[in-house]
Chains A and B, each alone.
Chain A
Amino acid sequence: MAILSKDESQAILKKVVGFTTADECQATLQGRTSGNVRYARNSVSTAGAADNVSLVVEARFGKRAGVATCNQFDDATLRRCVQRAEEIARLAPEDPEYMPLLGPQQYLTPVSYAASTAAITPDFRAQAAGDSIALCTAKQLTGAGYLEDGASFLALRNNKGLEAYQQSTTLDFSVTVRTPDGTGSGYAVADFTDVSKFNAKALTQIAADKAAGSRNAKALEPGKYTVILEPAALVSDEGLLNNLVYNFGAREADEGRSFLSKKGGGNRTGEKLFDPRITIYSDPLNPQAPGGVFDGEGLPVKRMNWVEKGVVKNLYYTRYWAQKTGKQPTAFSGNFIMEGGTQSVQDLIKSTAKGILVTRLWYIRDVDPQTLLFTGLTRDGTFYIENGKIKHPVKNFRFNESPVIMLNNIEAIGKPVRLGGNLVPPLKIRDFTFTSLSDAV
């Protein structure tokens, strides 16, 4: 029963909200049907499926709030769930950061759901894995990959008149191809709303070419290099750009514990912190990378610039923090769009005299929240570029770099592609800091 329609889910929520005797009551119904297949050593290792719908009820008496959940939807269960939330609320301490529930809101309506993706079968997944494996076997390479697809819905309703509903589909695929002797490795990753754009063979081909081409890597001295970071190096594995965007919280900035805190107090909204070519925004209506249209409280997500021409334009304000500081609350959409140009990765390589092409960055961890310094390593395809051509593979590096510094050292910005639900361009960056070498392949 996982994907309920707007009418079906609101009918359940209406009943739930109707059962309450609390001052305020908000109910959230969410469901997801998903499936996956995993393979390694050119053989399927596991396959699974999940199907779940759950209800969360929040009841409030004054500033006291309680929450209860259930995953069955007969009247008796729903009533018990509401009662339990109310009982917990009566016992809870008053919330010093209480905000009244929102009333009716207007939401955008992106195309975030594709029936084709919701209809994926286990056979389809097995075929995709099989295609990927067959390509690796034919080239005497070793493939390991993971495919997961799902359809979801999220519905909200409260006793102040708020009603929200959105459904979405996603398919995530990644594959690592290695040479049997372990001296070469390549990677490809992609995600889609609509499965019709997905091609397991084409992605596996990219990873296979990188694996075959990365044998016998040469060691370069660590230091500062011009790099071309493919989108996967920027956002796959919770990369530098995601981490930049996640750190746009107003409260931490105002509290003095963020890279956006201002000396002496306040935050750095309005300051130019990046190269003027950098613009990062949210837009749930983007057809390539549609986003969520409301947050957990039902606050609408709108088109909003976070960075515009290098200037910090907006931060995320929770409703409580917005009220406290006299600002407008700004919902986080879960994804972002970075503006770019028209050049492909190949074009960026052609215009590079000396540099390093990076496929993927890995094990990325924050080192210093004060400067947003991160560390991590290159992985699965790192190549030396000379005079506009890939010259030879190079050994992997560890980097220590801040996205704030990186986005001031822009040489070129390529054409954005969808990755991790975002739109991300490949970037050519000068003086990217590699601090040591790794023998890892």
Chain B
Amino acid sequence: MQPRYDSCVNWLQLADCRPILSFDFHSSITQTFTFLKRRDFVGLTGLATGAMFLPSVPGFGGELIDPARLLEQVDPAIKKRLADSALNAAKSAGATYADVRIGRYLNQSIFTREKQVQNIANGESYGAGIRVIANGTWGFAATNTVTEAGMAKAAQLAVQIAKANSKVQKEPVKLAPQKGYGEVTWKTPIQVNAFEVPIKDKVDLLLAANAKALDNGANFVNSALFQINEQKYFASTDGSYIDQDIHRIWPTLGVTAIDRASGKFRTREALSSPMGMGYEYMQPKAQDKIAGPAGTGLVGYKYSYDMLEDATLAAKQAKEKITAKSVTPGKYDLVLDPNHLGLTIHESIGHATELDRVLGYEANYAGTSFATQEWKAKNQPYGSKLVNIIADKTQPGSLGAVGYDDEGVKTKQWDIIKDGKLVDYQKIRDQAHIVGQNESDGCCYSQSWEDVQFQRMANISLKPGTEKMSVDQMISNVDKGIYIAGRGSFSIDQQRYNSQFGGTVFYAIEKGKIAGMLEDVAYQTNTVEFWNSCSAICDQSDYRLFGSFFDGKGQPPQVSAVSHGSSTTRFNAVNVINTARKIG
């Protein structure tokens, strides 16, 4: 979480920014960067302050560089030599275990509003982090002097820190055994490297999307494209030398309509998702489009996004939201689109089943979890029998997919909830023994070479229903309900019981049919009651990934990116509140 972090981070809206951030920025920007203190960037104007701000956004740090350098790679043979110098230095200094991460973290971000480009930034951060165990205690040091001497010095410092910390250590670190893989490689299976696409083409696409929104009645539109490439080399005293090339991409937009006479304004967010893909995600394909419920005009996107189409619909829907009927509070059957449900899964299952939270390591910040080992031992249902939740680090196209995690463990897929029962947690090498297991789940991650790796959320996804069911069939069975799509306001307590979620578009369902747009909708639930009210799940053909690009955790906070797959799902008799208020 939070804190602001926690959690999650939802990039709700890009509002006015010049060039990156200013006062004019809608508050939801803070929800994108929730791990930052907003006071640090409110009021930033000017390109230079944007440049000062970006490095404080994890994943968007580093020095600004010429875009041509984004295509360079470092020779693995050189990285192996450097890594060996660090591993040897650590062992000579007394480490019983050591791992090295040599990382080149590249990013490009483009921000636009209406007819103008606000900022384009290309960043690079290169360095190495060395983690050791000495006297049974962890130590970590990082350096941007990536030479044999620089690495050896950092390794010695890490050992020194470990030995100093061992004086207050109560129990020695116990690592689950891990075999060495020798020299191996893994790459995100991309078709088009986003960093090879000319910036002009990307700017043209964003401005074309803005134009579609303005042509269709929007008063304001902001759009952005984030691209990340992690070139990570991992080596450990277990005998692994792992070279990985990871790509992620996220296009997003926010379209605002205003009614001056009434003073009302409404924003409709993009229905895109951040993905572990290349620029092919930006090239729309018919087979990736799933029609939303009849009567909504909505389109869901699987492995490619039609930004122009979504901008057009967003403008129409933003206008429609201004005059939409305000919801009558009460119990409704909810039909939740994957692009909305992903965040609910993230908050109420993803975070609740992270073992470090369960154990209390995040007590001061993100919080703990209701799903303790004692709770699990009672074998009570987390959800209805339909609820099957998979943790995964391998699914193609997902943000969490890597070949090996940041402590050299080959990734896998495992069950978290089976037939409604909690069966496992998310854990890494030094946690496995605490729950009586002898292998890591492979979900260790660090946002950069200079931060220490720790347990982060795997992709946490809801399995589709086994019986054939489309969203229209699902809705036809609902007498009084609400259909929700997209990201909205979200909040959950520090033990993950009580949550409140909004969305970006809401439709009334009456007697099996979509019956017009609603506004001011949020649902308040208790995690276990909510998942136990799950009564139907659409089949595989409706399955899509939702993503969180900037999920935050830890002190000092780090971000990670994670996907949540699901099909449209029904929940019965959920408490819906009306969020409209009157002021002054």
Residues of chain A at the chain B interface (Cβ within 8 Å): 26, 28, 30, 36, 38, 40-48, 50, 54, 56-58, 65-71, 84, 93, 95-97, 122, 126, 130, 142, 144-146, 148, 174-176, 178, 182, 237-238, 242-243, 246-252, 255-257, 259, 261-265, 268, 271, 273, 295-297, 316, 318-321, 331-332, 334-335, 362-373, 375-377, 379, 396, 398, 400, 402, 404-405, 408, 420-421, 435-441
Q: How many A-B residue pairs have CB under 8 A?
A: 299
B387 interfacial by beta-carbon distance below 8 Å: no
Question: Would you call B495 and A243 a contact (CB within 8 A)?
Answer: no
Question: Would you call B494 and A362 a contact (CB within 8 A)?
Answer: yes
Chain A residue at minimum C-beta to C-beta distance from B53:
A296
A366-B64 in contact given A375-B491, A398-B500 (Cβ < 8 Å): no
A246-B522 in contact given A56-B48, A251-B16, A405-B581 (Cβ < 8 Å): no
B489 interfacial by beta-carbon distance below 8 Å: yes
Contacts of B559 in A (CB 8 A): none
A–B pairs, 8, beta carbons within 8 Å: A67-B51, A122-B164, A251-B23, A318-B24, A362-B494, A366-B31, A398-B500, A420-B37
Question: Would you call B27 and A363 a contact (CB within 8 A)?
Answer: no
B361 interfacial by beta-carbon distance below 8 Å: yes
State the Cβ distance, A141 to closest chain B Cβ, in Å: 11
Q: 18 new A-B pairs (CB below 8 Å) besides A362-B2, A367-B500, A421-B39?
A: A44-B165, A48-B452, A56-B51, A56-B52, A66-B47, A67-B51, A146-B365, A176-B364, A238-B34, A252-B24, A255-B220, A261-B263, A316-B43, A363-B7, A365-B31, A366-B28, A404-B583, A436-B498
Question: Would you call B44 and A296 a contact (CB within 8 A)?
Answer: yes
Question: Would you call A43 and B169 a contact (CB within 8 A)?
Answer: yes
Within 28-70 of B, Cβ neighbours of A (below 8 Å) are at 28, 30-31, 34, 37-40, 42-52, 55, 63-64, 66
Contacts of B363 in A (CB 8 A): 40, 142, 144, 176, 178
Chain A residue at minimum C-beta to C-beta distance from B169:
A43
Question: Would you call A440 and B583 a contact (CB within 8 A)?
Answer: no
For the complex, give the distance between the alpha carbons of A438 and B370 in Å: 11
Chain B residue at minimum C-beta to C-beta distance from A360:
B494
Chain A residue at minimum C-beta to C-beta distance from B496:
A440
Question: Would you call B360 and A144 a contact (CB within 8 A)?
Answer: yes
For the complex, give the distance between the alpha carbons of A119 and B373 in Å: 43
State the Cβ distance, A403 to closest chain B Cβ, in Å: 10
Write out, one digit per residue, whether chain B residues 430-461 have a CB within 8 A of any chain A CB (1) or not (0): 00000000000000000000101000000000
Within 561-584 of B, Cβ neighbours of A (below 8 Å) are at 575, 577, 579-584
For the complex, give the distance between the alpha carbons of A363 and B2 in Å: 7
Contacts of B220 in A (CB 8 A): 255, 257
State the Cβ distance, A373 to closest chain B Cβ, in Å: 5
Write out, one digit per residue, whether chain B residues 504-540 have a CB within 8 A of any chain A CB (1) or not (0): 0000000000000000101010100000000000000
User: Which of B23, B138, B261, B361 is A318 in contact with, Cβ under 8 Å?
Assistant: B23
Contacts of A362 in B (CB 8 A): 2-3, 367, 493-494
Question: Would you call A30 and B498 a contact (CB within 8 A)?
Answer: no
Question: Would you call B495 and A439 a contact (CB within 8 A)?
Answer: yes
For the complex, give the distance between the alpha carbons of A40 and B579 in Å: 37
For the complex, give the distance between the alpha carbons of A404 and B29 in Å: 21
User: Which of A42, A174, A249, A377 is B364 in contact with, Cβ under 8 Å?
Assistant: A174
State the Cβ distance, B94 to closest chain A Cβ, in Å: 19
Question: Would you call B63 and A296 a contact (CB within 8 A)?
Answer: no
State the Cβ distance, B329 to closest chain A Cβ, in Å: 10
B111 interfacial by beta-carbon distance below 8 Å: no
A238-B30 in contact given A368-B520, A438-B497 (Cβ < 8 Å): yes
Question: Would you call A256 and B23 a contact (CB within 8 A)?
Answer: no
For the complex, give the distance between the alpha carbons of A178 and B263 in Å: 47
User: Which of B27, B267, B500 is A243 in contact with, Cβ under 8 Å?
Assistant: B27
A237-B3 in contact given A144-B364, A182-B368 (Cβ < 8 Å): yes
Question: Would you call B498 and A398 a contact (CB within 8 A)?
Answer: yes
State the Cβ distance, A143 to closest chain B Cβ, in Å: 8
Contacts of A252 in B (CB 8 A): 15-16, 23-24, 26
User: Which of B24, B263, B452 is A251 in contact with, Cβ under 8 Å?
Assistant: B24
B73 interfacial by beta-carbon distance below 8 Å: no
Question: Would you call A71 and B63 a contact (CB within 8 A)?
Answer: yes
Chain B residue at minimum C-beta to C-beta distance from A301:
B43
Write out, one digit per residue, whether chain B residues 258-287 have a CB within 8 A of any chain A CB (1) or not (0): 101111110100000000000000000000
A246-B48 in contact given A369-B26, A373-B579, A376-B491 (Cβ < 8 Å): no
Contacts of B260 in A (CB 8 A): 256, 263-265
Question: Would you call A28 and B52 a contact (CB within 8 A)?
Answer: yes
Contacts of A41 in B (CB 8 A): 359-361
Contacts of B394 in A (CB 8 A): none
Contacts of A96 in B (CB 8 A): 116
B216 interfacial by beta-carbon distance below 8 Å: no
